Amino acid sequence: MEQLRGLYPPLSAYDSGWLDTGDGHRIYWELSGNPNGKPAVFIHGGPGGGSAPYHRQLFDPQRYKVLLFDQRGCGRSKPHASLDNNTTWHLVDDLERLRVMAGVDQWLVFGGSWGSTLALAYAQTHPQRVSEMVLRGIFTLRKQELSWYYQDGASRFFPDKWERVLSILSEEERKDVIAAYRQRLTSPDLQVQLEAAKLWSVWEGETVTLLPSGASASFGEDDFALAFARIENHYFSHQGFLDSDDQLLSNVPLIRHIPAVIVHGRYDMACQVQNAWDLAKAWPEAELHIVEGAGHSTDEPGILHQLMLATDRFAAPHANPLP
């Protein structure tokens, strides 16, 4: 049996700061690895999740120059949990500002879950700036995907956990859970926001791994839950601010020349494996890995293994396009 790859050892960032977007936001960023290495950007999930130190360890520190950043309103970015001027296209523009700031002409784009959504939106807007892509837990923000996770799909596998999500809603509100939660998450009463935020956030934290994980505890912390739930619900209420339901799939021809690896867990309850299959069918040049015995999270051993193989492969000088 092939030995599964793990993360590279922990490392510190060698530079960090905040980028002023000019419209009320300050975006936290950091650089780690080799200042002269292959440029890469890591796009975290959520939206509203924030980056974490272990994300640096997905890349060989001797061969990569890695930029991590916290998207608008979350992590160390300011103002916290803000929904103002916070759309997919604001984030695409932020990525370009960060690329220019880092002095990078092209970079590998790595994104998982919502990070895969934003990675696709960015690459389709600026294909000349993307050298390769590594995508995990594909999420294209179609109505069927939102309905699956927040209405009538995943709840069938986690009825006890879903019941907690529904506990604060009336029978009428349960017909549109995303809309009902938006009312609470944008309430002028902070306690109303927090109650809803924790329920929304913990639902995701407890369903993104195949087996229960202690990592889900952080999803219930006030600061994390507030940014995560408010921003995620804001984006989902507006279907990601996309122009059409299948925009990210229909625009794949713009990026088919970019070497790409797609990694998805077979038993991903947050984002069904059908999403990855649909993306791969539209993008036959990309390499698809459906990982057996895995859920949604990067922490799933089989998923992490494939991600590490992908970043190692693309670190090679003048990496060849995948077959």
Residues annotated catalytic, as ranges: 113, 268, 296
CB 74 within 8 A of CB 228: yes
* 195, amino acid identity: E
Contact between residue 279 and residue 249 where contact means Cβ atoms under 8 Å apart: yes
Instruction: Tell me the C-alpha distance between 114 and 234, whole Å.
Output: 13
Cross-strand partners of 108: 40
Asked whether the beta carbons of 308 and 6 are under 8 A apart, the reply is yes
**How far out from the chain centre does Cα 65 lie?**
20
Q: Which residues pair with 260 in a beta bridge?
A: 133
Degrees, nearest 5: CA angle 243-29-229:
50
Which stretches within the chain are classed as H helix? 88-101, 114-125, 143-147, 159-166, 177-185, 190-205, 222-237, 247-250, 273-282, 301-315
Could you tell me whether strands 107-112 and 38-43 are parallel, antiparallel, or unpaired per DSSP bridges? parallel
Question: Strand 64-69 and strand 38-43: pairing?
Answer: parallel
Report whether 260 contacts 283 (CB < 8 A).
Answer: yes
CB atoms within 10 A of CB 309: 17
Helix (H) or strand (E) holding 136, with range, is: strand 130-136
DSSP at 26? E
Six-digit token string for 219:
């999803």
